[in-house]
Chains A and B, each alone.
Chain A
Amino acid sequence: DAGVIQSPRHEVTEMGQEVTLRCKPISGHNSLFWYRQTMMRGLELLIYFNNNVPIDDSGMPEDRFSAKMPNASFSTLKIQPSEPRDSAVYFCASSLQGAIGNQPQHFGDGTRLSIL
């Protein structure tokens, strides 16, 4: 089975440019999560969706960050304008959430973003 697919795997761009990260969750999963990982802060949740609806975006650092999930098989995380401090690895994860307990999240291999 295909796992969570993220693109691009690496992105290098200059400060001020718009960056768009893409994610395809596992088919049938109804929750999608965007994380950021840095050496200093570890793995931080930015935003998550249930059934394509944003539920909690309290982790989004600033208005420069936005995320969308137009359908069950695609999500984007956009940074505009980008800044050097946004450099990090961004992960997308998906899970199947039901009425009983929390189900594990399955992660993609991330996008390594470098803002010069």
Chain B
Amino acid sequence: EDQVTQSPEALRLQEGESSSLNCSYTVSGLRGLFWYRQDPGKGPEFLFTLYSAGEEKEKERLKATLTKKESFLHITAPKPEDSATYLCAVPLTGGGNKLTFGTGTQLKVEL
């Protein structure tokens, strides 16, 4: 069964304290892994797509990496405005456009 597991569930950081969020997955024939950011009262906002092991993508203080079993979202020198819930998602095995989402990591960055 396809599964996506994110850890930790919640993370509290001091401003400038770098860390990583994890997304592990079990699907056959990965057809992409997506990272989203969700702010309270808003819909998920697309951040990155990764398609193959070894691939990396960067955007400001965020860098996403991918291996054959998991993806990491590295946050370097975070700021309070990086506080949000970060979701990862993968397409289900068998084709089609259905995504399965992890339950997210709730990040809070404090001054």
CB contact between B96 and one of A43, A56, A105, A109 (< 8 Å): that residue: A56
Q: Is the CB of B31 within 8 A of A102?
A: yes
Q: Is the CB of B32 within 8 A of A101?
A: yes
Q: Is the CB of A45 within 8 A of B98?
A: yes
Interface of chain B, helix or strand or loop or mixed? loop
Q: Is the CB of B41 within 8 A of A109?
A: yes
Q: Counting CB contacts under 8 A, is B59 at the interface?
A: no
Residues of A whose CB lies within 8 Å of any CB of B are: 4, 31, 33, 42-43, 45, 48, 50, 55-56, 91, 93, 95, 97, 101-110
Q: Counting CB contacts under 8 A, is B16 at the interface?
A: no
> With contacts A43-B87, A56-B98 known, is A102 near B32, CB below 8 A?
yes
Q: Is the CB of B43 within 8 A of A55?
A: no
Q: Is the CB of B32 within 8 A of A109?
A: no
Name the distance in Å between A29's Cβ and chain B's nearest Cβ. Answer: 11
Residues from chain B with Cβ under 8 Å of A43 in the complex? 44, 87, 101
Which one of B17-25, B45-53, B67-75 is at the interface? B45-53
Q: Counting CB contacts under 8 A, is B103 at the interface?
A: yes
Q: Counting CB contacts under 8 A, is B99 at the interface?
A: yes
Q: Is the CB of B91 within 8 A of A102?
A: yes
Residues from chain B with Cβ under 8 Å of A108 in the complex? 43
Q: Is the CB of B43 within 8 A of A50?
A: no
Q: Which chain B residues numbered 91 to 107 have a C-beta less than 8 Å away from chain A? A: 91, 96-104
Residues from chain A with Cβ under 8 Å of B87 in the complex? 43
**Which residue of chain A has its CB nearest to the CB of B43?**
A107
> With contacts A42-B101, A50-B97 known, is A104 near B34, CB below 8 A?
yes
